Amino acid sequence: MSPGWVAALVVLAALVAIVGAFIALLFIGLRARVPWANHLIRRINRDGLNRIQLRRAGRAGAACALLHHRGRVTGTARVTPIGAVPVDGGFEVSLVYGRDVDWVKNLQAAGSAELHHDGHRYLVDQPTFIPATESRFAATEASTIRTFRIQEVLRVRARPAQ
């Protein structure tokens, strides 16, 4: 193997190690609720992954729902993909990043919003925080709750939209 190839492989291995260490650091930071890691992952999701989710979310068979809400400061219409699961009388949403996210604050400020879930539209209101251990996620997503130390779930009341 020529010295050029060896150098290229060393550089490639170093890059893979750096990217792997960065991902591990973000995971540990999210789990430990380190503010900068939480903020960075939220930005990556908002600016990248959420844009991809918006193409399919809310439709029949989609993994994510769409929450249509208004910005509490600007009044601008917003759409956020969220992982909502149906429960008696409404939905529950796991708060991986905690309650300090814009869509939760917007929903609280407005008191209501529109949720598109599995091809249906709902008006949601009465946002209430409940312990994750008392939610539907406690049985279906127990390992995720433990891994990411999710403390709370948001429960909303829902009724079909007209």
Confidence (pLDDT) at 33: 73
In contact, 92 and 136? CB cutoff 8 Å: yes
CA angle 145, 148, 99 (to 5 degrees): 85
Residue type, 137: F
Alpha helices by DSSP H, listed for the chain, are: 3-31, 35-44, 50-53, 102-110, 137-140, 142-147
Confidence (pLDDT) at 2: 79
Confidence (pLDDT) at 123: 97
CATH of domain 57-160: 2.30.110.10
Listed range (27-36, 79-88, 100-109, 136-145) with the worst mean pLDDT: 27-36
Residue 117 has pLDDT above 90, yes or no: yes
CA dist 8 and 23 (Å) reads 23
Residue 83 φ/ψ region, left for φ over 0, alpha for ψ in the -120 to 50 degree band, beta for the rest: beta
Span 100-116, average pLDDT: 95
Confidence (pLDDT) at 93: 94
Confidence (pLDDT) at 126: 96
Which one has a higher pLDDT value, 103 or 148? 103
Boundaries of every domain in the chain: 57-160
Rg of the chain on CA atoms, in Å: 19
Confidence (pLDDT) at 63: 87
CA dist 158 and 84 (Å) reads 11
Confidence (pLDDT) at 138: 82
In contact, 31 and 148? CB cutoff 8 Å: yes
Write the pLDDT tens digit of every residue in 142-157.
888 887 788 899 999 9
Write the pLDDT tens digit of every residue in 10-63.
888 989 988 888 777 777 777 777 777 777 777 877 777 778 888 889 999 998
